Structure 1
């Protein structure tokens, strides 16, 4: 374990001033982590999770940046919906790399709907080498998953002509894979599509590594796991037994941090 310091950051996005926090190890590795959030970076409640995560990763040499997007916390501007945070994330990436000139790539880390924002951005930025997604939001607003809703969810997301269209290509081998990913990336950028389809398309079209961490007692976890398997999404999936949607206990947060740190350092 190594010493780390915290640095307050201020950067611009579309004429608004955004704030962030950088946890900087004394001997930083070349891969950093950008935490994408959907709520202010207060030091209590669910967001204590992010503080503890940043400290653990920084102690292992991984620089970590957290930030409040426009209209959130101490950042200026109008609030954005979770599927419209691309500019904010891009501005944070720019500020992160400016602070860490030796950094080569970044892993995006997000919880819940912020995981959705992270994966939607990831496939459009070559500097993003991986994503860590905790209980990613894979359903449309107002349709929170129920324990008995899996068949209907799979019917909507797994049998639509949409999936035949984005998966179709002409060719074999590497050319076929490349064409499929290109189709998936195009679908991910199509704002007219339902958000769950865009999330799955983003994951399928992403060239980097992906880790999905699910809470064992989160009702939507089995839905996400089934969708990932159904569409053969290339990712590592880990379930934390007994954990809820926000991994509220210290034991669950520690488990998430450990899994995240080990995975980020494994490739």
Structure 2
């Protein structure tokens, strides 16, 4: 197995990509979320790509326009469809034996794959999809009630927070009021989540949705998504980037399941 670095075109811009070679006819294309480069948070995607390749599956990663080593304007995840399509084409050219491609995205990369109906992919693995909406010109985001409740409960389970409470360093009245308010609020689907539902509904291939249950983004998604969706798998102790070794192993096994299915 080798790691190859390359450039490819997207709307007259040069995009940077990395291919971890392997012999399988099924490959994994990783779409980066947010403004992360193709290496991922703390190099997590690069590490995962090498591990997947050692298991026999080629992995392609890339920086979308305006991010990392890629040229052009950063158009955000909502308008990244052309970037993903260009990466798919480049993957096929660099690994011609590949006849089936699994798309994996975390955070708004998962949202982008849903919005574009997974165009070009044979299977989707979507992790912690982003459903938050901007609340105003300051570009703040709305936190879902379930995420608010989770944050309060985590504080109450934290020994240091309990010490602060008993010492009087925490406003008890404010805490009780906040918990009461969060308990009464019901989650509402955002316009983004509605678009994602519609987009994913047009995808004909298999889908797996992965949720890290210590992640606010995952909790926001869970609060507006169909709770009966059998495609959802949860990792109880995982944060947004699956930074804990046990969570990384869980993610790795989930990716392998999707590639081998």
TM over 0.5: yes
SS of residue paired to 1:238: strand
SS of residue paired to 2:210: strand
Aligned twin of 2:153: none
Alpha-carbon separation, structure 2, partners of 1:46 and 1:197: 28
Greater CA radius of gyration, 1 or 2? Answer: 2
The partner residue of 1:66 within 58, 61, 70 is: 61
The partner residue of 2:125 within 106, 125, 132 is: 132
The partner residue of 2:114 within 114, 119, 129 is: 119
SS of residue paired to 2:49: helix
1:199 has 2:191 as partner:
no
Gaps (5+ residues) in structure 1? 158-193
Which aligned runs of 4 or more in structure 1 are off by greater than 4 angstroms?
Answer: 148-154
In angstroms, what is the RMSD of aligned CA positions? 2.3
Gaps (5+ residues) in structure 2? 135-140, 150-181
The partner residue of 1:107 within 95, 99, 102 is: 102
Aligned twin of 1:82: 77
Number of equivalent positions: 220
Q: 1:154 to 1:65 in 2, by over 3 A?
A: same
- Alignment TM-score, normalising by the size of structure 2: 0.76
Q: 1:248 to 1:150 in 2, by over 3 A?
A: farther
Q: Shift of the alpha carbon at 1:130?
A: 1.0
Q: Shift of the alpha carbon at 1:262?
A: 2.0
- Alignment TM-score, normalising by the size of structure 1: 0.75
Aligned twin of 1:218: 215
Between 1:255-264 and 1:148-157, the stretch displaced more is: 148-157
Alpha-carbon separation, structure 2, partners of 1:74 and 1:130: 27
